[in-house]
Amino acid sequence: MPAFAEIAIDPPLADSYRALALLRNGDGIAPAPSEISSAVLERDLPMIDLKGLTSGGARERKACEDAMARAASEWGFFQLTNHGVSRELMEEMRRGQARLFRLPFETKEKAGLLNGSYRWGNPTATSIRHLSWSEAFHVPLASISGEDCDFGELTSLRGVMQEVAEAMSHVANTVAAALAERLTGHGAGGAARFPAGCDETTCFLRLNRYPACPFAADTFGLVPHTDSDFLTVLSQDQVGGLHLMKDSRWVAVRPRPDALIVNIGDLFQAWSSNRYKSVEHKVVANAKTDRLSVAYFLCPSYDSLIGTCGEPSPYRAFTFGEYREKVQEDVRTTGKKIGLPNFLKHSPVQ
């Protein structure tokens, strides 16, 4: 009886790793151990009870706003409890996500699933330090409910993703408005909706999987970066692996059941005139087990002008479309994102 070829589920990340490892120029070396996972301190992120903001009195609301603003300034990250996104919904999302990523690699890559939003590794990587050992579906919210968005045999996943997107969108907009109010002094009823230009047609839901990695000692699950949005809301499993930069050193984030992680993006840092921090973060690879996460990205339309909470601002005026184009150009030409320094009024990058 002829042997059947094993169906590949994982993307060919090992092939990419080996090809990059063959490079012998100075940029082809593996990252130093300190860049990956050596002796980092595990910390709890600031924990904030969102109930104080959504159902508390004036004193509780102010205390919650103050705590979020302090965490956004000092950490760029914080965790939320009582956020309204149910454990049952996220468990259902995780099961559907696991089924999606168990599909054959060829199906994920070529079948046009979820509007062809599948991506893996890093196609522009020129060294191991630029390779992300991960795969993802980066889905525009507007396409999830669209008739042309193909879910293949996983038709039930559409409804779950819509529920998750709606729930995370509510969290993201609630937090963003409160953080903006803290800087401007305008209550939610007395100011324009913030952030402007963000709705279900502009934001994204990203389903991530980080496969177990045989080269975990010198490979990133996701390379160090900042997020190019206003705000990110993240639900992760209990595997761990998220690290962020705090006080010029990497800190490992201890997973907390039922908590959502919120982090400030580049656009919010610019809008806040650097009062809130878009902090560099990464995911380290795991040698033994997969890791799953779901992220919601609060993004404006491409023609939205990124304003400021007040003058003077260190940044010149720019649109989200300009920002994205410059990030993509820098990644193509230098292998890494430069980001906000490009848009300083007196840019050292020029």
Per-residue confidence (pLDDT) for residue 294, from 0 to 100: 98
Least confident of 6-15, 23-32, 188-197: 23-32
Sheet holding 249-253, edge to edge: 41-43, 249-253, 242-246, 281-284, 220-225
The rounded distance, in Å, linking the Cα atoms of 164 and 96 is: 12
- The residue type of 230 is F
> Is 229 part of a structural domain of the chain?
yes
Q: Is a pLDDT exceeding 70 seen at residue 20?
A: yes
Angle, CA of 204, 209 and 214, to the nearest 5°: 150
Structure confidence at residue 1 as a pLDDT band (50, 70, 90): very low
At residue 306, the 3 state secondary structure works out as coil
- The residue type of 262 is V
Q: Which domain holds residue 193?
A: 39-316
CATH number reported for the structural domain that contains residue 124 in this entry: 2.60.120.330
Neighbours of 92 (CB within 10 A): 17
Residue with tokens 């998220």: 242
The rounded distance, in Å, linking the Cα atoms of 49 and 260 is: 11
Highest-confidence range of 205-209, 251-255, 313-317, by mean pLDDT?
A: 205-209
Dihedral, CA atoms, 34, 36, 39, 41, nearest 10 degrees? 110
pLDDT digits (tens, 9 = 90+) for 264-308: 999 999 999 999 999 999 999 999 999 999 999 999 999 999 989
Q: Give, in order, the Cα–Cα distances in Å from 259 to each of 82, 87, 175, 182, 233.
A: 8, 9, 14, 23, 10
Q: Is a pLDDT exceeding 70 seen at residue 204?
A: yes
The rounded distance, in Å, linking the Cα atoms of 195 and 301 is: 11
Q: Is a pLDDT exceeding 70 seen at residue 186?
A: no
Q: Is a pLDDT exceeding 60 seen at residue 33?
A: no
At residue 344, the 3 state secondary structure works out as strand
pLDDT digits (tens, 9 = 90+) for 45-101: 999 999 999 888 999 999 999 999 999 999 999 999 999 999 999 999 999 999 999
Residue with tokens 């502009």: 202
Q: Beta strand 260-264 with 77-81: parallel, antiparallel or unpaired? A: antiparallel
Residue 323 DSSP label: H
Would you call the peptide bond into 211 cis, given omega within 30 degrees of 0 as the criterion? no
The rounded distance, in Å, linking the Cα atoms of 160 and 158 is: 6
> Is 321 part of a structural domain of the chain?
no
Q: Is a pLDDT exceeding 60 seen at residue 3?
A: no
> Is 295 part of a structural domain of the chain?
yes
> In sequence order, what DSSP letters do the residues of 43-72 get, joined into one string?
EPPPEEETHHHHTS-HHHHHHHHHHHHHHH
- What's the domain count of the chain? 1
For residue 204, the cross-strand partners are 140, 297
39: left (phi over 0), alpha (psi -120 to 50) or beta: left
3-class SS shares of the chain: helix, strand, coil, % to 5: 35, 20, 45
> Is 148 part of a structural domain of the chain?
yes
Per-residue confidence (pLDDT) for residue 348, from 0 to 100: 58
Instruction: Give the pLDDT mean for 11-32.
Output: 75
Neighbours of 6 (CB within 10 A): 6
Q: What is the mean pLDDT of the chain?
A: 89
At residue 241, the 3 state secondary structure works out as coil
> Is 342 part of a structural domain of the chain?
no
Higher pLDDT, 25 or 268: 268
pLDDT digits (tens, 9 = 90+) for 301-349: 999 999 899 878 999 999 999 999 999 999 888 878 999 999 998 765 5
Residue with tokens 């890791």: 291
Residue with tokens 């292998």: 335
Q: Is a pLDDT exceeding 80 seen at residue 24?
A: no
Least confident of 4-8, 120-124, 127-131, 303-307: 4-8
For residue 229, the cross-strand partners are none
The rounded distance, in Å, linking the Cα atoms of 78 and 94 is: 22
Percent of the chain with pLDDT over 70: 90
> Is 331 part of a structural domain of the chain?
no
Higher pLDDT, 260 or 26: 260
Residue 42 DSSP label: E
